[in-house]
Amino acid sequence: MSSYEKNNDSEDELTKFHNCRINSCSRLYDGKLFRCLYLYTGYVSGKLPLDDTIVNINQGSGKGLSKEFR
């Protein structure tokens, strides 16, 4: 894990996160489904905003949620 501080990593450095062991470990918190524990802890600690990878399960229809889960 790295800190939540902004840095100037190259694209090559950022590709390391695709191989992260917890990049597909989902967490449900306060009606929001996070696809990554790093995103979850960043949001809960106030260091990261919500982004388009988070699914709010309390909004939308069944079909809309199904699409977002994919």
pLDDT tens for 15-24 read 776 677 666 6
pLDDT for residue 1 is more than 60: no
Half-sphere exposure of 57 (CA within 13 A, CB side): 10
Distance CA 33, CA 11 (A): 27
pTM of the model: 0.65
pLDDT for residue 61 is more than 70: no
Closest Cα to residue 29, out of 41, 21, 20? 41
Closest Cα to residue 28, out of 19, 37, 16? 37
Summarize pLDDT for 24-49 with one digit per residue, the tens: 678 889 989 888 888 888 899 998 88
pLDDT-derived band at 13, boundaries 50, 70, 90: confident
Question: For a pLDDT cut of 90, what percent of the chain falls above it?
Answer: 3
